[in-house]
């Protein structure tokens, strides 16, 4: 961590922690807290890929993270726009700040953009949540995962399948380190705090309800598929109340396809905008069933023991199926309906919590990062 400059003065080079989109905040928060408690100088950098208060600011408040030190304000746009603009701006920041290391998480455009910049500038980069693969290259995140893992220096994996995928891609063994699932650290750190959320009362929810989240382009950017999913929800809604915190992409597409009113007419459905983390954890942990296409929710429901039905054809998180409570159903309305109704009748799939999803992942990550900097720093 200590860096001796040309004139013999000792300085501390910072670690840059990168966040950009909603699922990044709950992965970086425990790493930030752990590194800070060890006295490490940190720069929290937000690319601004997500920017609405309820997709960004609320998470800093809920997760007890300080305001970002650097806000790039990239905003929405095409994949090339987002990735390219983050790269151009991030390169300038790295030149100015001279970090000892950069930490990126997950599989969003901000992740791959910052990782490529590090690789070209010779800055050590650690990828948290490395090795996940859906083997579906139509999914933008799959491209981001493959590119990020091919050039990041430290590949910190959440589960053994991650290690295996990286080995199969020819990645050197010393770059692969299993640390566990850091998103579960945030979940455990905040379960008790979430109990004080009043969201169930505020929404006037019934005792039994399900949660729905949707935002994958493969589901909501295709009118026919989106309408098919809604037809399944129209049947499920007769059996259990559905709470639907709608992602901005989904709201935009529902309105564009004139499907919004149809969703709002599903029996007893409660549509909200995206909700904050503590409210969402409160909603999820008290629900009977989760229907989703989110990556993170497949993991959180496995940790909470709540049955999860995933409206995708595949998953990059197969351990949630083999060990956890997740069932992959795709977007066939008949299968969505029958699996959901069956889960409501039987109580749904039970499972166990995967190894190293123990709330101590940030501690292991900090050990790895500090050890790497001490042994490889300039």
Question: Which active-site residues does the annotation give?
Answer: 215
SS3 state of residue 15: strand
Instruction: Give the residue from 109, 139, 129 showing the smallest Cα distance to 49.
Output: 109
100 binds, among ligand UD1, ligand UDP, none (CB under 5 to 8 A by kind): none
What gap in Å lies between CA 339 and CA 259, rounded to an integer?
A: 24
C-beta of 132 vs 303, nearer to ligand UD1: 132
C-beta of 140 vs 377, nearer to ligand UD1: 140
For position 293 contacting ligand UD1 by CB under 6 A, the verdict is: no
For position 361 contacting ligand UDP by CB under 6 A, the verdict is: no
Query: Out of 277, 285, 301, 324, which residue is the one contacting ligand UDP (CB under 6 A)?
Result: 277
Tell me which stretch binds ligand UD1 (CB under 6 A): 17-25, 60-68, 228-236, 352-360: 17-25
Count of residues that bind ligand UDP according to CB under 6 A: 14
SS3 state of residue 212: strand
Contact between residue 324 and residue 302 where contact means Cβ atoms under 8 Å apart: yes
For position 249 contacting ligand UD1 by CB under 6 A, the verdict is: yes
CB of 300 to ligand UDP, least distance (A): 5
CB of 364 to ligand UDP, least distance (A): 20
SS3 state of residue 44: strand
For position 215 contacting ligand UD1 by CB under 6 A, the verdict is: yes
CB of 215 to ligand UDP, least distance (A): 6
The two tokens of residue 90 are 């991030």
The two tokens of residue 321 are 């199926």
CA angle 321, 323, 329 (to 5 degrees): 15
Tell me which stretch binds ligand UDP (CB under 6 A): 113-121, 219-227, 262-270, 272-280: 272-280
What gap in Å lies between CA 372 and CA 369, rounded to an integer?
A: 5
Distances (CA, A) of 272 to 177, 244, 247, 334: 39, 6, 9, 26
The two tokens of residue 377 are 């720093």
52 binds, among ligand UD1, ligand UDP, none (CB under 5 to 8 A by kind): ligand UD1
SS3 state of residue 273: coil
CB of 176 to ligand UDP, least distance (A): 22
318 binds, among ligand UD1, ligand UDP, none (CB under 5 to 8 A by kind): none
Query: Out of 34, 141, 185, 300, which residue is the one contacting ligand UD1 (CB under 6 A)?
Result: 141
Contact between residue 190 and residue 63 where contact means Cβ atoms under 8 Å apart: yes
What gap in Å lies between CA 99 and CA 183, rounded to an integer?
A: 25
Residues whose CB is less than 8 angstroms from the CB of residue 92 and which lie 6 or more positions away in sequence, other chains included: none
Query: Out of 84, 160, 228, 248, which residue is the one contacting ligand UD1 (CB under 6 A)?
Result: 248
49 binds, among ligand UDP, ligand UD1, none (CB under 5 to 8 A by kind): ligand UD1
C-beta of 274 vs 307, nearer to ligand UD1: 274
Contact between residue 235 and residue 267 where contact means Cβ atoms under 8 Å apart: no
Residues whose CB is less than 8 angstroms from the CB of residue 101 and which lie 6 or more positions away in sequence, other chains included: 15, 16, 123, 124, 125, 126, 369, 372, 373
CB of 371 to ligand UDP, least distance (A): 28
CB of 2 to ligand UDP, least distance (A): 35
What gap in Å lies between CA 368 and CA 1, rounded to an integer?
A: 13
Binders of ligand UDP among residues 22 to 61 (CB under 6 A) are: 22-23, 26
| Burial tier of 72 (Cβ tally within 10 Å: 0-12, 13-18, 19+) | buried
For position 296 contacting ligand UDP by CB under 6 A, the verdict is: yes
In the complex, which residues of this chain contact ligand UD1 (CB under 6 A)? 21-23, 49-52, 55, 76, 107-109, 140-141, 215, 247-249, 252
In the complex, which residues of this chain contact ligand UDP (CB under 6 A)? 22-23, 26, 213, 245, 274-275, 277, 280, 294-297, 300
């Amino acid at each position: 961590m200590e860096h001796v400059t040309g004139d013999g003065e000792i300085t501390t080079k910072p670690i840059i922690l990168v966040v950009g989109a909603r699922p990044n905040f709950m992965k970086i928060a425990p790493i930030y807290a752990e590194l800070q408690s060890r006295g490490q100088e940190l720069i929290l950098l937000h690319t601004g890929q997500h920017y609405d208060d309820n997709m960004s600011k609320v998470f800093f408040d809920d997760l007890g993270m300080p305001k970002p030190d650097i806000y790039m304000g990239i905003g929405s746009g095409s994949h090339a726009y987002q990735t390219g603009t983050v790269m151009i701006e991030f390169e300038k920041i790295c030149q100015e700040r001279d970090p000892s290391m950069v930490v990126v998480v997950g599989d969003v455009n901000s992740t791959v953009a910052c990782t490529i910049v590090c690789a070209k500038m010779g800055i050590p980069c650690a990828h948290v949540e490395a090795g996940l693969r859906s083997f579906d290259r139509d999914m933008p995140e799959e491209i981001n995962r493959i590119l990020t893992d091919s050039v990041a220096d430290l590949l910190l994996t959440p589960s053994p399948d991650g290690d295996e995928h990286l080995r199969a891609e020819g990645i050197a063994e010393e770059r692969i380190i299993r640390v566990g699932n850091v998103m579960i650290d945030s979940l455990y750190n905040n379960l008790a705090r979430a109990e004080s959320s009043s969201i169930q009362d505020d929404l006037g929810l019934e005792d039994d309800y399900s949660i729905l989240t949707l935002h994958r382009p493969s589901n909501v950017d295709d009118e026919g598929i989106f309408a098919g999913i809604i037809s399944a929800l129209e049947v499920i809604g007769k059996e259990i109340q559905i709470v639907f915190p709608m992602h901005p992409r989904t709201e935009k597409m529902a309105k564009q396809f004139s499907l919004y009113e149809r969703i709002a007419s599903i029996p007893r459905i409660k549509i909200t905008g995206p909700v904050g983390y503590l409210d969402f954890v409160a909603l999820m942990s008290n629900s009977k069933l989760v229907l989703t296409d989110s990556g993170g929710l497949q993991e959180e429901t496995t940790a909470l023991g709540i049955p999860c039905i995933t409206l995708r054809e595949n998953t990059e998180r197969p351990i949630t199926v083999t060990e956890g409570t997740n069932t992959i159903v795709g977007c066939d309305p008949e299968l969505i309906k029958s699996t959901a109704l069956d889960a409501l009748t039987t109580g749904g799939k039970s499972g166990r919590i995967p190894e190293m999803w123990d709330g101590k992942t940030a501690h292991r990550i900090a050990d790895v990062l500090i050890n790497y900097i001490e042994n490889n720093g300039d």
